[in-house]
Structure 1
Amino acid sequence: MQTKAILGLAEVNAILDAAQQAAEANGWQVTVAVTDDSGELLGLRRLDGAAPMTAMISAQKARTAALSHKETQVFERMINEGRTAFLSAPLEGLLEGGVPVVVDGRVIGAVGISGVKSDQDAQVAKAAVAAIG
């Protein structure tokens, strides 16, 4: 029987806390979403001042990163470089800011950030993932 690492409550809270710290250090109002490896939401934190729609977008970015095992910037870049047919894929959250959580070479979840520029969202997401190293 195989075993796998999972994101427990302690890891989810560490990710949420690290993302909040990274965002607040830059004065950014964002929402942070954390999912398991199947893209199901484990935690969500909308910082004061973050727009309501950022909750939905951050969760979609995290889900896409978890299911694809790729950072969502891959999809944004692909579409921006002309592969617009990819917009018909059954995924949402195709903007930069979704980052998978990888442990021992396996994706165990993902983080999605929404609220600032896409590259800034990704910066916060990467800081959050790094918190559980």
Structure 2
Amino acid sequence: MMESSHVKFSVSHLTAQAVVHAVIERARALGVPQSVAVLDARGLVLALCRMAGAPLVSIETARSKALTALFGSSAPADAEALPPGVSRLPRFSSVGGGLPIVSGDRSIGAIGVSGGTAEQDLECAHAGLAAVHGASAPKGHDGEVAGRRSGGADRR
């Protein structure tokens, strides 16, 4: 039987660090301590940072916002875009501050920011997203700015 293989695009760890740096710089400019989470395409944490002074709960809230964004919603305006009932699950957020990281037509990760108002969180998330798409974002070992490819056999 022939094995099928697939290619998964995701955010590289270097790009995740660039996102964290950009979010922190924007948060400093706003004078608002923030927490930021960067997730890969599977919803696993690549980078997580809580600035000194950011509320402790902002760590989990940032992760929740990123996970919600990974599913295609930058709540609260797009909460109805989530599959029914998802917004009530413990790891999802109905508060704005998360953005998906998209390459072409693929969601390759997400950013979640928490610690300020929803508007401040979203402004900082946009700064992080700009680092992904900007020319100054570090390149991974394969040369892709936004992510990396990982291939492997799917042995189902």
TM-score range, shorter chain: 0.7 to 0.9
Answer 1 or 2: which has greater helix percent.
Answer: 1
User: Which has the higher Rg, Structure 1 or Structure 2?
Assistant: 2
Is 1:38 aligned with 2:37?
no
> Gaps (5+ residues) in structure 2?
134-156
CA positional deviation for 1:73 = 3.3
Which residue number in structure 2 is paired with residue 89 of structure 1?
88
2:75 to 54, 72, 76: 72
The answer to whether the aligner puts 1:101 opposite 2:104 as a matched pair is no
Does 2:61 align with 1:57?
A: yes
Contact 1:97 1:122 in 2 (8 A): yes
- Secondary structure at the counterpart of residue 24 of structure 1: helix
Contact 2:42–2:109, Cα closer than 8 Å, also in 1: yes
Whether the 8 Å CA contact 2:87–2:93 is kept in 1: the answer is: no
CA deviations over 1:17-49 (Å, ceiling 9, x no partner):
010111111111110011112222111010111
Provide the aligned length of Structure 1 versus Structure 2: 125
The question of whether the paired residues in 2 share the 8 Å contact of 1:111 and 1:128 is answered with yes
Over the matched positions of the two proteins, sequence identity in percent amounts to 30
Q: Over aligned residues, Cα RMSD in angstroms? A: 2.0
Report Cα offsets for 1:39-93 as digits up to 9, x if no partner: 2211101011101100010001101111x222223346x5xxxxxx968633521
Is there any run of 5+ residues in structure 1 with no aligned partner, and where? 79-84
Q: 1:24 aligns with which of 28, 34, 39?
A: 28
Q: Which structure: greater strand fraction? A: 2
Cα distance in 1 between the residues matched to 2:87 and 2:115 = 24
